[in-house]
Amino acid sequence: MVRREVNPPADGWSLTLPAGLWADLSRHLFTDGAGHGAVILAEHVRGPRGPRLLGRRLILAGDGVDYVEGTTGHHALRAEFVRDAAVLARDEGLAYLAVHNHYGTTTVGFSIVDLSSHERGYPALRQITRQLVGAVVFTSQAAAGDLWLPDGTRTTLAEVVVPDNNVLRLQPRPAEPAARDPEYDRQSRLFGDRGQETLRQLHVAVVGLGGVGSVVVELLARLGVGHLVLIDADHAARTNLPRLIAARHDDVGRPKTSLAARNARQANPDVMLTLIQQEVQTPRARDALAYCDWIFLAADTDAARHWVNEAVHQHLIPATQIGVKIPVDADGTLGQIHAVTRPITPDGGCLWCNELIDATELAIDMLPDAERERARYVAGVPAPSVIALNTLAAAEAVNHFMLAVTNLHHDDTGQAAVLHRPRSRDRDLQNPRRNPLCPTCSRCRQRT
């Protein structure tokens, strides 16, 4: 198999497209080698390396109907098609991006004809929409953009990101070769120097720093992930010690964020850390999630599941849920053990669709502390928890992340969860269920 060179994240404006939107657009643009057009309407948010545009609607231009040969012999979007899309952009407060394709593979740029048509059309279009307007030109492996901002300035698009089984980063030209860090020599032989550089530049959140999360932090830090956002409100208890990676017996009573931070710095002194010793539903934690490239969900409260699920669909940030279930009946009978690693992608079925969030439990989680205690007047029996089982799921999750961001998965697409059943010594894959009417994740699947 030929290695496809991965592009490390680029600073500046980016456009993120849900996998399904990208699949529809690719089918439209790249089937027959001819020129095709479309419009993407996008939401504007902030991100770790600059402003982000989030693809919310794809409007395909019909060949010969909406995308027609102009007077100069070049194809262009028909005026009425542009007007309708621009009115929709204005009404919904979304950026308007005209899209077309060029020949080529890993390099792409606008032609003189493209640029002069932008200069003729976009000042007026910007007046109509009062939003950002612009254009993106694609090949199947590259993208370039010309953005006209509402404040009258003009800038370029650094990259188009498609978070799927491989996280594609389409840029105007292949990234410069990265220098090899001798410490990571053995890893770079797998990831490539650009793959290792990608890991260094990523911002990754770990929600929950207990038996699963502490292992995830250890693995991410040793891999050389450059920025970690560590979120947990708890302190280490004596019963946590057998499962907290690198914890010492005098750590009882210390915040789990401090223990994870100490361990991450020991693995990689250069790691940048953001520590949030709060629950994930607090505004500061939710804000921090929006500035990440990937989220590991290693907490099992309904609030944590809900807010990570929200971040995935509101900000188009991929996440992985990791959990170990050891069911014990009231009479002590042990059921099947499951160690689950579940990708949550902007275009896949979400945690609500898969009945993994309980609305009543979520409501209780969201109460202030004192009221929450009262609502849970029946004290729960602690569930079993064991380091080796946690590590099985944590390692599966970090392997999936690492291969996705360095584009080493065989398939670019796919969102299946992996279920290990250690008592039966088997594992299988489970595709997410998808409710087409789900208000949370149907936002990522709008087609017009």
Q: Which residues bind Zn ion (CB under 5 A)?
A: 111, 114, 350, 352-353, 438, 440-441
Dihedral angle over CA of 250, 265, 309, 387, nearest 10: -50
- Give, for 75, the enclosing helix (H) or strand (E): strand 75-77
CA distance 394 to 403: 14
Q: Which of residues 74 and 238 has its CB atom nearest to Zn ion in the complex? A: 74
Q: Which of residues 90 and 443 has its CB atom nearest to Zn ion in the complex? A: 443
Instruction: List C-alpha distances in Å: 44 to 48, 52, 55, 307, 441.
Output: 13, 6, 9, 20, 18
Q: Which of residues 400 and 445 has its CB atom nearest to Zn ion in the complex? A: 445
Please, what is the minimum distance in Å from the beta carbon of residue 290 to Zn ion?
19
Please, what is the minimum distance in Å from the beta carbon of residue 101 to Zn ion?
8
Please, what is the minimum distance in Å from the beta carbon of residue 259 to Zn ion?
34
The secondary structure of residue 238, as a DSSP letter, is: G
Please, what is the minimum distance in Å from the beta carbon of residue 328 to Zn ion?
30
- Give, for 214, the enclosing helix (H) or strand (E): helix 213-223
Q: Which of residues 382 and 436 has its CB atom nearest to Zn ion in the complex? A: 436
Instruction: Enter the tokens of residue 119.
Output: 């200069």
Scanning the structure block, which residue is given the tokens 């120097």?
193
CA distance 202 to 224: 9
Q: What residue type is 405 in one-letter code?
A: V
Please, what is the minimum distance in Å from the beta carbon of residue 57 to Zn ion?
18
Phi then psi for residue 89, to 5 deg, are -60, -45
Please, what is the minimum distance in Å from the beta carbon of residue 98 to Zn ion?
10
Residue 413: CA count within 13 A, CB half-sphere: 9
Q: Which of residues 308 and 441 has its CB atom nearest to Zn ion in the complex? A: 441
Q: Which of residues 337 and 362 has its CB atom nearest to Zn ion in the complex? A: 362
Please, what is the minimum distance in Å from the beta carbon of residue 51 to Zn ion?
24
Asked if residue 166 lies in contact with residue 409, where contact means CB atoms within 8 angstroms, the answer is yes
Q: Which of residues 195 and 349 has its CB atom nearest to Zn ion in the complex? A: 349
Q: Report the b/e string of 227-249 with b at 16+ CB within 10 A.
A: bbbbbbbebbeeebeebbbbbee
Please, what is the minimum distance in Å from the beta carbon of residue 433 to Zn ion?
9
Please, what is the minimum distance in Å from the beta carbon of residue 122 to Zn ion?
15
Q: What residue type is 1 in one-letter code?
A: M
Q: Which of residues 108 and 418 has its CB atom nearest to Zn ion in the complex? A: 108
Q: Of 314, 261, 270, whose CA–CA distance to 439 is shortest?
A: 314
Q: What residue type is 223 in one-letter code?
A: L
- CA-based angle 238:239:240, to the nearest 5? 90
The secondary structure of residue 407, as a DSSP letter, is: T
Nearest residue to Zn ion on Cβ basis: 438
Q: Which of residues 304 and 441 has its CB atom nearest to Zn ion in the complex? A: 441
Q: Which of residues 111 and 431 has its CB atom nearest to Zn ion in the complex? A: 111
Question: Dihedral of CA 207/435/169/409: which sign?
Answer: positive
Q: Of 159, 137, 133, whose CA–CA distance to 11 is shortest?
A: 159
Please, what is the minimum distance in Å from the beta carbon of residue 137 to Zn ion?
5
